[in-house]
Amino acid sequence: MARVTVLGSGVMATALAFPLSDNGHEVRLVGTHLDREIIDSIQETGVHPNLDLKVPEGVRAYQLEEAEEAFESAEVAMSGVNSFGVHWAGERLASLLRPGMMVIAVTKGLEAAENGDLRILPDVLADEVPEDIKDQVSWSAIVGPSIAGEVAVRHETCVVFTGLDAEVLEDLARLFRTGYYHVWTDTDFVGCEVCAAIKNCYAFGAGFMEGLLDREGKSEDRYRRYNYGAALFGQATRELGRWMELMGGEPETPYGLAGVGDMFVTSMGGRNVKAGRFVGAGEPFSEVQNGRMKGVTLEGVAAIRVVGETLPKLAERGLVAHEDFPLMRHLYEIVAHDEPVDMPWSTFFGGER
Amino acid sequence: MARVTVLGSGVMATALAFPLSDNGHEVRLVGTHLDREIIDSIQETGVHPNLDLKVPEGVRAYQLEEAEEAFESAEVAMSGVNSFGVHWAGERLASLLRPGMMVIAVTKGLEAAENGDLRILPDVLADEVPEDIKDQVSWSAIVGPSIAGEVAVRHETCVVFTGLDAEVLEDLARLFRTGYYHVWTDTDFVGCEVCAAIKNCYAFGAGFMEGLLDREGKSEDRYRRYNYGAALFGQATRELGRWMELMGGEPETPYGLAGVGDMFVTSMGGRNVKAGRFVGAGEPFSEVQNGRMKGVTLEGVAAIRVVGETLPKLAERGLVAHEDFPLMRHLYEIVAHDEPVDMPWSTFFGGER
């Protein structure tokens, strides 16, 4: 039996308590300052309000002030915050981690340096931790197609644990694997994390196909816009491959669970798709963000901003061509400059020809 | 202005009359012996009954006996039959084609020789035509994500014209390209055609995710089985890549329109997905085929049978390993031997590890 302590009690972190508990491990959820009501609810009724499910028997919930107690004698520390909380989580972990712990993160995103260099979030998380501790724990992450609630109701799910140390990944995988939660391991840390972050951007675009129907009053029509969505999916896949070249990921990483698999599931719904749908229907993105979706965390949109601001810098440095990533650049124009959706089809797939 | 004559008046062939007509070309639809009522309907009312749309002004419909008249002075001959009609279509074309014509096919599928060698359908079609004519016409095909009705209502669509002659492909593309119908050309004929055929097989599997919910009485539940579908999509993508190695297609062909793009759109619905859903819900495939879906053309299932029977032969010849293509082999067991759906997850992605 292992002790797994989770910083953050969002839906994904909490869902992972299900396979862990099914395997007899002890799970301790520590709420962030934003999770106070979630922790109250779990402590009082056992129910996670956003998942709308009772957490497994034996899962214990802690308020942030009790974090030290919760991390006591834990072998595994999970970072369960979203991309906006990664620096905060790293600062907290700095005082909570102890040598020998295995850290595993579910956060997906990218951060850019001033010169345009992109960094994966597990590295950003680790860099908040002082060197002496940072080097005495292991850093890994979970990627792949995984809607949290489906894990929590024990629907079959296939994911990838990624990090640089194959043995650690296998140790972690053994803790989580059940009959419904299948885990592969992959030491292409950069490639897996870049896919996980970038596919969220393209999922925003997946909302356009419904939005365009809304705009035309065709929401109930027999003929949808799947051809449109499929073309975007194809171009997004092309661009994922190009991201691997740029970031040093393995060429085949996009073409399995971490890439197209995750992009498929993310395109089926969620907040980014919803925001994309409003934009596809004709609303400028700034109105969506300040109106109907005010206060909603949009990690895909955040990643589009990071990446979109970075591409011109990388082009100036000669690392990408100005015409590279045409779909990503259009997504950036939409979210950063309120451009209407108007796909530059002829620039896709190396240019229509 | 060009004259394009189509053998077969199914939904896809008819839908392609829209971009052609929009470009001012003359389109003549020739019904097969199975299309008699479709041709009657177009002649009497202009409406294609399966598309449920009026065909463009100026499209002329011919019964099969009038084929010779319809092929008179045509520059382009389109084969619009489904995979079951490809030999028949080749035999008809043998007497209808004239030197210099460009043939373009929309039929998707594979045919196997006794020893397990797989052939793409444009080759099968061409082989029905006597050598002296066969070599004096060009052979091309259309692949990529394209639901016929969406083309017919002029929703944006991106496709690939494939064949061995780049100039012919460009000539054909010019006839079809409109503001909503975007055409790329690709001389990886084998790779594109194999993707087009094989993705239909995997689309059958895409039906399982809904079927499993049906079986459990969870069709209306908040939590779906998208993680399941996404894992299959990821494994299917892996296998598409492996098919390229086996058949000599270009390694990158699966990772754009012809592969994942087309697989995405095919997974969104259609007859193969519907059949897969019934099987996922627990019905043996033979009951689905002889019951609810009796008489319905299931090209994906047909391709699963062809490929599934072939794999052991290829393994015997040392061309594939016995453990290769685990998803395809499970699909074959389901359609050929009425096995229940029970994903061999641990064999996917090179083995869970």
CA pair distance A225, B151, nearest whole angstrom: 10
Tell me, yes or no, if B205 comes closer than 8 A to chain A by beta carbon.
no
pLDDT of amino acid B58: 86
If DSSP codes are grouped into helix, strand and coil, which group holds residue B76? strand
Of the partner residues A152, A265, A352, the one whose CB lies closest to the CB of residue B230: A265
Contact B261 A353 (CB under 8 A): no
For each successive 10 residues of chain B (353 residues), what is the average pLDDT? 97 97 98 97 97 96 98 97 94 97 95 96 97 97 98 98 98 98 98 97 97 96 97 98 97 98 95 97 98 94 97 96 96 98 97 84
Own/partner long-range contacts of A19-22 (Cβ < 8 Å, ≥24 apart): A19/A151, A19/A176, A19/A177, A19/A178, A19/A180, A19/A181, A20/A175, A20/A176, A21/A56, A21/A57, A21/A58, A21/A59, A22/A56, A22/A154, A22/A178
Regarding beta strands B110-112 and B60-62, do their DSSP bridges make them parallel or antiparallel, or are they unpaired?
A: unpaired
Mutate to test the interface with B, among A226, A242, A263, A268 (most CBs of B within 10 A): A226
Closest-CA residue of B relative to A252 is B238
Task: Tell the burial category of B114 from Cβ atoms under 10 Å away from its Cβ (0-12, 13-18, 19+).
Answer: exposed
pLDDT of amino acid B71: 98
Tell me, yes or no, if A235 comes closer than 8 A to chain B by beta carbon.
yes
CA pair distance B170, B184, nearest whole angstrom: 9
pLDDT of amino acid B352: 85
pLDDT of amino acid B46: 97
* Tokens encoding A64: 């942030």
Of the partner residues A150, A228, A346, the one whose CB lies closest to the CB of residue B227: A150
A-chain residues within 8 Å CB-CB of B280?
none
Tell me, yes or no, if B261 comes closer than 8 A to chain A by beta carbon.
yes
Among B residues 289-328, those touching chain A with beta carbons less than 8 Å apart? none
Phi-psi region at A283: left, alpha or beta (left = phi > 0; alpha = psi -120 to 50): beta
Contact call for residues B120 and B110 (beta carbons, < 8 A): yes
CA pair distance B336, B304, nearest whole angstrom: 9
Mutate to test the interface with A, among B222, B238, B264, B342 (most CBs of A within 10 A): B264
* Tokens encoding B351: 């083995």
Average pLDDT of chain A? Answer: 97
CA pair distance A75, A67, nearest whole angstrom: 15
Span between the terminal Cα atoms of chain B, in Å? 59
CA pair distance A84, B113, nearest whole angstrom: 57
Task: Provide the whole-model pTM.
Answer: 0.97
pLDDT of amino acid B232: 98
Contact call for residues A196 and A143 (beta carbons, < 8 A): yes
Tell me, yes or no, if B219 comes closer than 8 A to chain A by beta carbon.
no
Regarding beta strands B76-79 and B60-62, do their DSSP bridges make them parallel or antiparallel, or are they unpaired?
A: unpaired
Tell me, yes or no, if B180 comes closer than 8 A to chain A by beta carbon.
no
A-chain residues within 8 Å CB-CB of B241?
252, 255
A-chain residues within 8 Å CB-CB of B352?
177, 182-184
Contact B52 A224 (CB under 8 A): no
Contact A182 B352 (CB under 8 A): yes
Contact call for residues B146 and A223 (beta carbons, < 8 A): no
pLDDT of amino acid A185: 98
For residue B34, give every residue at least 6 positions away whose Cβ sits within 8 Å of its Cβ, in sequence order, or none: none
Tell me, yes or no, if B82 comes closer than 8 A to chain A by beta carbon.
no
Contact A257 B231 (CB under 8 A): yes
Of the partner residues B149, B184, B345, the one whose CB lies closest to the CB of residue A353: B184
Tell me, yes or no, if B196 comes closer than 8 A to chain A by beta carbon.
no
Domain limits, chain A: 3-187, 198-350
CA A160-A166-A170 angle, 5° bins: 65
- Amino acid of residue B1: M
Predicted-complex ipTM score = 0.97
Mutate to test the interface with B, among A169, A174, A227, A347 (most CBs of B within 10 A): A227
Of the partner residues B184, B231, B252, the one whose CB lies closest to the CB of residue A352: B184
Tell me, yes or no, if A94 comes closer than 8 A to chain B by beta carbon.
no
Closest-CA residue of B relative to A144 is B231
Tell me, yes or no, if A256 comes closer than 8 A to chain B by beta carbon.
yes
Chain A nearest CA to B339, separation (Å)? 19
Instruction: Identify the DSSP state of B80.
Output: -
Top-tier CATH class for B197-350: mainly alpha
For domain A3-187, the question of CATH label 3.40.640.10 is answered with no
CATH number of A198-350: 1.10.1040.10
For residue A105, give every residue at least 6 positions away whose Cβ sits within 8 Å of its Cβ, in sequence order, or none: A78, A79, A121, A122, A125, A139, A140, A141, A142
Closest C-alpha to A272, from A18, A83, A77: A83
Residue-wise pLDDT for A53-88, tens only, equals 999 998 999 999 999 999 999 999 999 999 999 999
Closest C-alpha to B225, from A160, A184, A264, A185: A264
Tell me, yes or no, if A88 comes closer than 8 A to chain B by beta carbon.
no
pLDDT of amino acid A318: 96
Contact A256 B269 (CB under 8 A): no
pLDDT of amino acid B157: 98
- Find residue A183's DSSP bridge partners: A159
Give chain A's residues under pLDDT 50. none
Among A residues 31-60, those touching chain B with beta carbons less than 8 Å apart? 52
For residue A95, give every residue at least 6 positions away whose Cβ sits within 8 Å of its Cβ, in sequence order, or none: none
Of the partner residues B149, B223, B227, the one whose CB lies closest to the CB of residue A145: B227
pLDDT of amino acid A191: 98
Of the partner residues B223, B225, B233, the one whose CB lies closest to the CB of residue A260: B233
Contact B182 A241 (CB under 8 A): no
Contact A155 B241 (CB under 8 A): no
